[in-house]
Structure 1
Amino acid sequence: MSNSVKHLLEVKNLKKYFNVGSGQVLKAIDDVSFYIDKGETFGLVGESGCGKSTTGRTITRLYEATSGEIYYDGKDISRLKKREAKDYTKDVQMIFQDPYASLNPRMTVGDIIAEGIDIHNIYKGKERQERIYELLGLVGLNQEHANRFPHEFSGGQRQRIGIARALAIEPKLIICDEPISALDVSIQAQVVNLLEELQRNLKLTYLFIAHDLSMVKHISDRVGVMYLGSIVEMAPSVELYKNSMHPYTGALMSAIPIPDPDIERSRQRILLEGDVPSPINPPAGCKFASRCKHAMPICKEKAPELVDQGGGHFVACYLYDK
């Protein structure tokens, strides 16, 4: 994958390690590479603790990368000058998982939404107020909501406020960090439909982070599957769901419920045995080998590389070693 400007975002060999004391290092992201084209949605999925949220936060520069490169519109974000860095923070916004924890309880909704507008000095006075009302309308809320506080809203409404805040400064790329996992199931589809509608109307690009594979399938053009800090499989969404190759992806797929009781009763779940290795002391070879029934001696000696099996379907597994 070259750092061509045709990719809006390109992540190359990204690592993020945390010092956890006593000389120990937690490898939250361990050599992750992917790209996102303008206007598409790239889904990043995996179990809790696999590093997907850390990836999103490192892209937005909430965390500094340990090593690796992040290119935005062809530019290495670690080398941006002060003015370019400010433009980058304007172009790349984030929607957080917990809509209540991410909203300041002492600020009105109007002021929360306008935070970015004020920082970047985009609108003033009447124009600022009109922009707040416009954003509330875009996410399905009313003008009178601007003077209320976050505790006066439901979880779904609070997430809509978070979306309005992310949209306020007209970003090009939005990192959606598990934006529906804290919401009731009945509300999740509404929020996903809203995100899709906004993407179409505003020409947005998404990195959609989640552990719900069925929802990721619905919204994503391509999907990357993460396990213990690394991407083990990556493919166009339809291809991944029709023809998953990595044993870990297969196990995740088997857990997705099918809305047909006859099929659901007869299908077999793939139950993973063994414990997830520690990210502080990961194994030398494939990190999934200790839980994989197909593991071979080489799997425990050397980590497999992410190899294109054709049609943009990448997998890191010796079962498909070319």
Structure 2
Amino acid sequence: MDQVIEKLQNADNILEVTDLCKFFKAGRKQTLKAVDHVTIGIKRGETLGLVGESGCGKTTCGRTMIKLYEPTSGKVVFDGKDISTLKGKDLLEFKKNVQIIFQDPYASLDPRMTIGEIISEGMDIHFHFSEEEKTKRVADLLNKVGLSAEYANRFAHELSGGQRQRVGIARALAVEPKFIVCDEPISALDVSIQAQVVNLLIKLQKEFGLTYLFISHDLSMVKHISDRVGVMYLGSMVELASNYDLYGEPLHPYTQALISAIPMADPDGEATRERIKLEGEVPSPINPPPGCKFRPRCRYAMDICEKEAPKLIEVKPNHFVACHLCHQQHK
């Protein structure tokens, strides 16, 4: 595991996570393991996609990385600094440098504030702009996300879902961050709007040199925007590879099932290709099965899978998998 940590964490990273855990109490004696010993490094300027079924811990992982949730254990290092030790000005600087775009554009905007007030709220905390400078910056940010300056005087209920999400993006950009968690930013939008928002995020990343953690269920969109992709299952990282490798040759049985579910534009190809259907239900994160968490739904399960949880190991150059079968096949 030490070799994996060393491989995933290097000088090019803006954020490094080591053995990150986030557990929640579920009753008096039960614990829900939402994020269970996740190790990952995110390089400056890249987009890391994070995929998996609902409840696998993607959002909790993203929020814990940026201190919206306090980690149960593990270490998060941002820009060379352990975030658990940050205080005062250093903590304020960290909060400026990391932002989040929320999933629900209807719930994430204060209905009592104008759009201008929503976008400029962070500026009041981190900068000392005059009212004239603030108004100009809000207008400029609205323009960057494809809205006119007049939207600054409107309220959230006057906007469509796509327009609200653009405001959420402008709010995240307002404090000049380095790293943004995009928490399923397109899932609540019409299909016709989703591509526009994703292309906007790509454009802004190039313009401002941003780093993204892009969380989504839509594997096609993740493929479009991401440089590398991590696959989570029941709180754990089961596969991590470049966009090309993961979609071209998925190794973990769970990843293979996810990739096989992506619709194809070719009707003939869609009709003839193999679709991998997972049997059974997702185990409870409160009481996960022993050994490999995916074992009850895996068609390749072996005796060792019940006895020992597989570790995330590099089986090919920069391709990491937590699967006993893959480890044996790629020794």
2:210 match: 204
Between the aligned residues of both structures, percent identity stands at 63
**Separation in 1 of the partners of 2:326 and 2:255?**
14
Runs of 4+ in 1 over 3 A off after TM superposition: 2-5
**Separation in 1 of the partners of 2:290 and 2:104?**
35
Alignment of 1:88-103 (within 5 A): 88-103=94-109
**Structure 1 residue 307: Cα displacement:** 0.5
SS in 2 for 1:286: coil
Alignment of 1:1-322 (within 5 A): 1-2=5-6, 4-321=10-327, 322=331
**Structure 1 residue 122: Cα displacement:** 3.7
- Paired residues in the alignment total 322
**Structure 1 residue 5: Cα displacement:** 3.8
Q: Give CA deviations for 1:102-145 in whole Å, capped at 9, x if unaligned.
A: 00000000000011101113422110110100100000000110
**Separation in 1 of the partners of 2:131 and 2:110?**
22
Q: Give CA deviations for 1:80-122 in whole Å, capped at 9, x if unaligned.
A: 1221111000000000000110000000000000111011134
CA contact (8 A) 1:5 1:73 kept: no
SS in 1 for 2:177: coil
Q: Give CA deviations for 1:204-259 in whole Å, capped at 9, x if unaligned.
A: 10000011111100000000000000010000001100000000000000100010
**Separation in 1 of the partners of 2:10 and 2:305?**
33
User: Structure 1-normalised TM-score?
Assistant: 0.98
Q: Give CA deviations for 1:268-300 in whole Å, capped at 9, x if unaligned.
A: 211100111110011120000000010001101
Unaligned 5+ segments in structure 1 are none
**Structure 1 residue 21: Cα displacement:** 1.3
User: Structure 2-normalised TM-score?
Assistant: 0.96
**Separation in 1 of the partners of 2:238 and 2:175?**
35
SS in 2 for 1:55: helix
RMSD between superposed Cα atoms in Å: 0.9
CA contact (8 A) 1:224 1:231 kept: yes
Unaligned 5+ segments in structure 2 are none
**Separation in 2 of the partners of 1:194 and 1:19?**
39
**Separation in 2 of the partners of 1:52 and 1:82?**
29
**Structure 1 residue 16: Cα displacement:** 0.2
**Separation in 2 of the partners of 1:315 and 1:123?**
48
